[in-house]
Chain A
Amino acid sequence: MTDIIYSEAEKTYILHGIQENYREDGRGCEDYRHMEIETGVVSNTTGSARVRLANTDLLVGIKAELGSPSPDNPNCGCIEFFVDCSANATPQFEGRGGEELATEISNVLTRAYSNSTSLDLKSLCIIPKQQCWILYIDVLFLECGGNLFDAASVGVKAALFNTKIPNVTVNQDEDDMEIELSDDPFDVQRIDIKSAPCIVTLSKIGHHHVVDASQKEEACCLARLMMGVTADSTITALKKEGWGSLNPESIFEMMESGKNVGKVLNASLLSLLEDEEKGSKRKTVGFLK
């Protein structure tokens, strides 16, 4: 991301550390850095979440809008991902500088969610072939400290959990259909995220792979594997990225650890979100602390 070139010796130091399962900050190869989450931070969205993973900071906002379903899936609603890398994160993203990365991230997210099991899109349908909910899921990066993909997916999942779509009633009089939105803030439809995936990125550095690579580690990494993993270790997407090449064996190895890590990540996230929901009396902190 940030175009810092690191010296040979620095890279060697990182590489040898990973070989010994001891990273620059003392983590092992399968450890995530500290992560903080808050949902419901942007009040004019249907659902929102903020994630801070070490130095990586992002905001996810979901807006539900009425629209017409795609002809291919007339009984389903739609989700659409959009990622924006703000120049606040790094001056390199100014203007259109972050667009390439943003497209890449939104593509991986789209891929991870583009299957019938991740989300129950049928529940977003209002009138088959005519009206459905379209969820616009917008990710905004505010600071970059490595591992943007995983952080984005965690944010998306948390924001989906937070999403409250108003219930609708369809009044049919002869040919005319009328949709009525409920304006009661408690009369809402929630989204089941039990089988929604998180992205786990495995960066191959030397002969080993690590999760949650820092920016420096990303600079040392030649190839990485991005996987969409659900709570029951199902893989919903797989993408190899980077200019290095990987052996089939090492891909399987990486997938194995990706599945394990993904399971832990999904489980911790879900229990946390449920905790947050229970603690009813809560003041949104946002960026004020």
Chain B
Amino acid sequence: MATVDIRLVSTRGIKKKSDHVDEIKNLVTPGDVITSDSGFMRGHGTFMEEGKLHASVAGVVEHVNKLICVKPLKTRYNGEIGDVVIGRIIEVCQRRWKVETHSKLNSVLMLSSVNLPGGELRRRSEEDEKLMRHYLKEGDLISAEVQNVMGDGCLSLHTRSLKYGKLGQGTLLSISPSLIKRRKTHFHNLPCGASVILGNNGYIWITPNIDDESQNTGGYEQNLQPVPQTDREVVARLRNCILALAANHMIIYDTNIMYAFEASISFTVKELLKPEVISEMIDLVQQRIDMEGT
């Protein structure tokens, strides 16, 4: 049975609890003078003019010893060494792949920084160069780690660990990188039966828990068998939950995701696309966070 869900804009947004929020402390906007004291160091989001330190973005001033930074609410991804990212191959070049990672410039994955099928470490032969498109071709998704940040901000990636590599069946989401919390691990096997990779670059990969055999191959051999319906439902539910959290500017990490998942269980997955259901679920999550936090 077909369903069509049309509303009027005017009927939206009855809920208005956070309509007014007091201005937060240390908030600056572009051009504001942060300090005229010359004893500070200039960090991201600031610039020097006439001996004064100005903010160049809107955000909260952060002090780390003598360093002053301003972090904007959202930007493109600023890579740091060691970050976990998810990227899409967009070009196969000489001895390297170009990868789209939602950063300012395309990232680079060198042929010498991947584990080749079989896993063993060996010299890259000319043969391998010819087979590059066979390993990873345009459109393929990978999880990787930032190995280096070049002078112009271009990231160089590596996948030399078995947890990284080509991604199989699942769903990719794209949210603002600032919503991803930097944590010890970004790979989570959630108890609900799916695993998520929270890329620092704002890309999130949700995939059904498949038996561990595929992990050893670095993802080169792909399992294209149909995913069982129950797994599919879990993935779809997680997808809608994470998007709902992101739309409400909530930080995303494994605990929050599980809260949302559990709060959503009384609704069908399809209902989670409706605004009133989303706000009800978000309220439940918020309550739970408040409760656990104190």
A–B contact with Cβ pairs below 8 Å: the answer is yes
Chain B binder among A62-70, A89-97, A185-193, A260-268: A260-268
The interface bits of chain A over 4-45 (1 if a CB of B lies within 8 angstroms of the residue's CB, else 0) are: 111111101100110110111111101111111110000000
Report if B53 contacts A (CB, 8 A).
no
Q: Which of A19, A32, A279 contacts B226 (CB 8 A)?
A: A19
Q: Which of A17, A19, A34, A38 contacts B273 (CB 8 A)?
A: A34
Contact A30 to B6, CB < 8 A, known contacts A22-B236, A36-B12: no
Complex alpha-carbon distance, A265 and B224, angstroms: 35
Assess the B140–A7 pair: CB atoms within 8 A.
yes
For the complex, count residues of B whose C-beta is within 8 A of A: 42
Interface of B is mostly: mixed
The interface bits of chain A over 243-284 (1 if a CB of B lies within 8 angstroms of the residue's CB, else 0) are: 000000000000001001100110011001001100100110
- Smallest Cβ distance from B176 to chain A, in angstroms? 15
Assess the B171–A7 pair: CB atoms within 8 A.
no
Max count, chain A CB within 10 A of own CB: residue among B2, B3, B270? B2
Contact A10 to B224, CB < 8 A, known contacts A26-B237, A265-B4, A289-B12: no
Contact A31 to B236, CB < 8 A, known contacts A13-B171, A19-B226: no
Assess the A9–B224 pair: CB atoms within 8 A.
yes
Report if A50 contacts B (CB, 8 A).
yes
Report if B139 contacts A (CB, 8 A).
yes
Chain A binder among B122-130, B162-170, B196-204: B162-170
Report if B81 contacts A (CB, 8 A).
no
Complex alpha-carbon distance, A35 and B270, angstroms: 14
Assess the A26–B10 pair: CB atoms within 8 A.
no
Complex alpha-carbon distance, A13 and B2, angstroms: 23
Chain A binder among B102-110, B145-153, B227-235, B284-292: B227-235
The interface bits of chain A over 90-117 (1 if a CB of B lies within 8 angstroms of the residue's CB, else 0) are: 0000000000000000000000000000
Assess the A26–B269 pair: CB atoms within 8 A.
yes
Complex alpha-carbon distance, A16 and B168, angstroms: 14
B242-294: which residues lie under 8 A (CB-CB) from chain A?
Answer: 268-270, 272-275
Complex alpha-carbon distance, A272 and B171, angstroms: 34
Complex alpha-carbon distance, A225 and B171, angstroms: 26
Contact A37 to B8, CB < 8 A, known contacts A7-B140, A31-B2: yes
List the B residue with the shortest CB-CB distance to A158: B6
Return chain B residues, CB-CB under 8 Å to A19. Answer: 226
A105-154: which residues lie under 8 A (CB-CB) from chain B?
Answer: 154
Assess the B273–A9 pair: CB atoms within 8 A.
no
Complex alpha-carbon distance, A28 and B172, angstroms: 20
The interface bits of chain B over 166-186 (1 if a CB of A lies within 8 angstroms of the residue's CB, else 0) are: 011111100000000000000
Assess the B141–A28 pair: CB atoms within 8 A.
no
Assess the B229–A24 pair: CB atoms within 8 A.
no
Q: Which of A13, A35, A289 contacts B169 (CB 8 A)?
A: A13
| A: contact size bracket | 35 or more
A38-88: which residues lie under 8 A (CB-CB) from chain B?
Answer: 38, 50, 52, 54
Complex alpha-carbon distance, A32 and B4, angstroms: 5
Contact A264 to B4, CB < 8 A, known contacts A9-B222, A19-B226, A289-B12: yes
Assess the A25–B273 pair: CB atoms within 8 A.
yes
Assess the A276–B8 pair: CB atoms within 8 A.
yes
Assess the A12–B236 pair: CB atoms within 8 A.
no
Return chain A residues, CB-CB under 8 Å to B98. Answer: none
Assess the B7–A16 pair: CB atoms within 8 A.
no
Closest 9 interchain pairs by CB? A26-B269, A5-B139, A30-B2, A38-B9, A13-B169, A26-B236, A16-B226, A261-B2, A35-B6
What are 19 A-B interface contacts by the 8 Å CB criterion? A7-B88, A8-B139, A9-B168, A10-B141, A13-B169, A13-B171, A24-B171, A25-B236, A25-B240, A26-B233, A30-B3, A31-B2, A33-B273, A37-B6, A37-B9, A264-B4, A268-B4, A272-B7, A285-B9
A residues touching B (Cβ–Cβ < 8 Å)?
4-10, 12-13, 16-17, 19-20, 22-28, 30-38, 50, 52, 54, 154, 211, 257, 260-261, 264-265, 268-269, 272, 275-276, 279, 282-283, 285, 289
